[in-house]
Structures are given as structure tokens and as C-alpha cells.
Structure 1
């Protein structure tokens, strides 16, 4: 098993316990994996393929804000109340992933404090990256002067 992303961030023993909770799933191209605002009760680690993250824009098509590939975490909203997806996700190519139920992982985190710390640290970093990516993409699409980044 290749260790990138979340799997590389978790200590070996904790990683093995986490992976025991995962199940292999696949999504064909074009499948909506989750919708913005719906209940978030699981997450995925992408093994192969790509997933587009998008945000609903009233009166327009959903705007793709980031594309995730191998080793990337798909879904963090399961960890943060109110446990609703902040973005939508669609398979941009055929996807193979490990799927994890939030309740089982949170129960494991209660028993495994190394996993809890590593997972929370990683998810906070992901949230920050996704927020920056969404902001930049939306400003590029809808802002009068592009991303507005300092030059």
C-alpha cells in the first residue's frame, strides 16, 4: 500500500487500525458522491481516479473548486458539526477508494489518541487548503479582477 496523504501522516500502528475499518468502493465517472448540504457521515481515501469538488452557485452551474487524486482525503465535514457537506463531489474519472464510516473512526479515535491527533492535524490542514482553493477559484470565476492575489 502506497503511503501518501493521510496514510503517510498517521503512525504505523494507528494506520493499521484505521485501515481495518475501511472498505473498498468504486464510483464510475459522473457519479455524485455527495451533495453540498447533505448529511456527512463518512469519508474516503482516493486510491485511483479523480474527484471534482464543487460549490453551488445560485443561478449558475456548480463551480469546480478543486480536483482530488490518488492519496487525497475526500470529505472532512463528517468531523465538524453540523456534519453536513460543505461542498459537493463528483467522480471526474473512474474512482477506487477506501470508505470509512465516521462513527467507527471517531470511536477508534477515542481509544487511539495518536490517531486522533494525527487525523485532526491532517484534517485541519486539508480544511485550510480547500478554503484557499475555493476562494481563489471563485474569485477567478466571478471576481472583477481575477483572484485578487497580491502582486
Structure 2
């Protein structure tokens, strides 16, 4: 359980009313990570995911030679680890705090309680996360299209 003021600080919850934020605060935990500390490892289980309040996290993947390669960077105001959490799969990346990070976490156990006791609030939370994940997917789709020289023709779809 965290103070409602911490939930208020998180941009992700700006559309939640005060009652929803109070209820949500009962299910979240406050966590922090020092610069260089791993939030999770590639291949580790996803028993919780995070709502980043402050800080920068580098996302890394092991390459074919055993070296870590940075593939992305996330900043405060976003969820992190949600895909593996909801898919029930191991994390596909390693997340390392690139400066001091403050976050809220939602464990699987607390998420299940939230769904059972406050299904409408759980749906609202999932809708917000879904919107963010969808935006990420659209951005990656555009990058992919740019790399392979696809372009949009008159709203009719991607053409080469």
C-alpha cells in the first residue's frame, strides 16, 4: 500500500478520479532502484510490473556474443514489464536503472485481488496500459516500414 499522493504523482493515473486513486493505492507498492541496479533480468519471471514515476531505465538484450546491447530507453510516466506480466512469459529484456529510479509496482497477487474486488478499476487500468502499448507498437511498425522502404499510398495501406 502506498500513499495516494504517490499515485497522484504518476502521469499514467491522471484520468483516474480521487476515489479510484485511493483504491489503487491499496494495491501498489513503492519501490526504488539505484543507478546501475537491475529492475529485472532477461529471462526472469514477471511476477510484478512497474509504473515508473521518476528516472530513466535502459532496456538491454544479450547479443550473440554475450554482450549487452541497449535496445531502448524509458523514462518516468510509463509502465514497464507489463507485456511479460500480462502474457505470463519471462522478460525478453534486461531493465537497468540509468539513474535513480522511483516507481510503483503491482504484483500478480495484488492484481488478482484488484480484478476480483474492483473489476471496473482493473479494466480502466488495462485500457490505459493497452493504449500505451498500442502507441509503442505503432511507433515500431513505422520504424519497420521506414527501414524496409515501405510507404503509405493514399490511405490504402503499405506499399513498396
TM-score interval (norm. to shorter)? 0.7 to 0.9
RMSD across aligned positions (CA): 2.9
Aligned length: 145
**2:80 matched to 1:74?**
yes
User: In 2, distance between residues paired with 1:106 and 1:79?
Assistant: 12
Higher-Rg structure is: 2
Q: Describe how 1:1-16 pairs up with structure 2 within 5 A.
A: 1=5, 2-16=8-22
TM-score, with structure 2 as normaliser: 0.72
Pair 5,150 (structure 1): closer, same or farther in 2 beyond 3 Å: farther
Alignment gaps of 5+ in structure 1: 140-144
User: In 1, distance between residues paired with 2:136 and 2:61?
Assistant: 11
Question: For each residue in 1:80-136, what CA deviation from the matched residue of structure 2 results, as whole angstroms up to 9, or x when unmatched?
Answer: 233322332110111111222121122112221221211111222232234455567
Q: Which consecutive aligned stretches of 4+ in structure 1 deviate over 4 angstroms post-superposition?
A: 132-137, 145-149
TM-score, with structure 1 as normaliser: 0.75
Deviation at 1:6? 2.5
**2:92 matched to 1:86?**
yes
Helix, strand or coil for the counterpart of 1:25? strand
Q: Mean alpha-carbon deviation: is it higher for 122-131 or for 87-96?
A: 122-131
RCO higher in 1 or 2 (8 Å CA, sep ≥ 6)?
1
Helix, strand or coil for the counterpart of 2:96? strand
Pair 91,133 (structure 1): closer, same or farther in 2 beyond 3 Å: farther
Question: For each residue in 1:49-93, what CA deviation from the matched residue of structure 2 results, as whole angstroms up to 9, or x when unmatched?
Answer: 11122334323532322x222222122035423332233211011
1:62 aligns to what?
69
- Selected match of 1:99 from 100, 105, 129: 105
**2:119 matched to 1:118?**
no
